């Protein structure tokens, strides 16, 4: 059986790197090393001597990896970018997910493709998670603003909670705004008039 591939993950986002490492381990890849996006990248790569390098597209260090290609005399094991020219869909998927892969030259594509598939799906999963988290955060934020505004309306008009909320919702509907926007206006106005 062939030796387990050594995989280096270059990503300045430790959470995303952890999610990816987890995914690769689940797929049976035990030697995965996370490298912080640092200045001495080349030395660290030499020390790890990976078969596959996965790198976040936002990292400027991609250009450092570019010098490890065949044309360079500076490295012992030349690497190549994992681009299957026959598979434009895979390039698109990788760019969409924001990741790129480099492999030791000569390594069979079949061994690497599942790794890139896992990477792309984990990067996408992370992006989705991040988006969901942001949505939840802004919803929580809205909730807080609405509650504050509701309390202001209740006090100013001496009305119960349900009525205050109904009033705000009515204004939002009339003005074609979100209720959170109306709430923000109420808070701003209240601060002005204080």
Partner 1 sequence: MTKRLRIGYVPLTDAALLHVAKAQNFAAARGIEMELVADSSWANIRDKLVAGYFDAAHMLAPAAIAVSLGIGHIEAPLLVPVVLGLNGNAITVSKALFEALLQEAQGDMSNPRVTAKALARIVARRRERAETPVTLGHVFPFSSHHYQLRMWLRAGHIDPDEEVRLVVVPPPFMVETLRKGQVDGFCVGAPWSALAAAAGAGAILHQGTDIVHDCPEKVLAFRAEWVLSHKEEVSALAEAVGDASRWAASPSNRSSLVTLLTSTAGKDVTAAMLERILDTPASTSGSALLSSGLRLDEDAIKADPAQALWLFAQMVAAGQTTYSDALAEAAAAVYAPALGPAIPRAAATPVIFDGPAFSPNDIPSYLAALEDGRTSA
Name the site residues for partner 1 (rule: CB under 8 A). Answer: 38-40, 42, 57-67, 69-74, 80-81, 83, 88, 91-92, 95, 100
Q: Least CB distance from residue 95 to partner 1, whole Å? A: 6
3-state SS, residue 79: strand
Q: Between 28 and 60, whose beta carbon lies closer to partner 1? A: 60
Side-chain half-sphere CA neighbours of 190 within 13 A: 17
3-state SS, residue 35: strand
Q: Least CB distance from residue 83 to partner 1, whole Å? A: 7
Q: Between 92 and 147, whose beta carbon lies closer to partner 1? A: 92
The helix/strand count (H/E) of the chain reads as: 7, 5
Q: Least CB distance from residue 20 to partner 1, whole Å? A: 19
Token reading at 166: 């109904």
Q: Between 108 and 194, whose beta carbon lies closer to partner 1? A: 108
CA distance 115 to 83: 13
Token reading at 188: 């701003």
Q: Between 72 and 170, whose beta carbon lies closer to partner 1? A: 72
Q: Least CB distance from residue 61 to partner 1, whole Å? A: 6
3-state SS, residue 2: coil
CA distance 66 to 140: 44
* Ranges of H-type helices in 1-108: 14-26, 41-48, 62-66, 88-97
Q: Least CB distance from residue 68 to partner 1, whole Å? A: 9
Q: Least CB distance from residue 101 to partner 1, whole Å? A: 12
How many CB atoms are located within 10 Å of the residue 159 CB? 14
Q: Between 17 and 45, whose beta carbon lies closer to partner 1? A: 45
Q: Between 71 and 158, whose beta carbon lies closer to partner 1? A: 71
């Amino acid at each position: 059986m062939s030796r387990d591939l050594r995989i280096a993950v270059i990503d300045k986002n430790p959470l995303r790197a952890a999610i990816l490492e987890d995914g690769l381990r689940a797929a049976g890849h035990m030697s995965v090393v996370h490298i912080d996006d640092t200045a001495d990248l080349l030395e660290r790569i030499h020390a790890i001597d990976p078969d596959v390098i996965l790198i976040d597209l936002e990292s400027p260090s991609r250009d450092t990896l570019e010098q490890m290609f065949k044309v360079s005399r500076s490295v012992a094991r030349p690497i190549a970018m994992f681009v299957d020219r026959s598979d434009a869909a895979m390039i698109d998927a990788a760019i969409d997910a924001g990741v790129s892969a480099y492999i030791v030259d000569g390594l069979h594509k079949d061994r690497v493709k599942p790794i890139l598939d896992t990477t792309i799906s984990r990067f996408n999963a992370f992006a989705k998670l991040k988006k969901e988290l942001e949505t939840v955060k802004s919803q929580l934020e809205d909730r807080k603003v609405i509650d504050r505004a509701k309390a202001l309306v209740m006090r100013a008009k001496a009305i119960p909670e349900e009525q205050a909320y109904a009033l705000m919702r009515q204004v939002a509907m009339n003005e074609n705004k979100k209720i959170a926007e109306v709430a923000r206006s109420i808070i701003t106005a209240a601060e002005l008039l204080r």
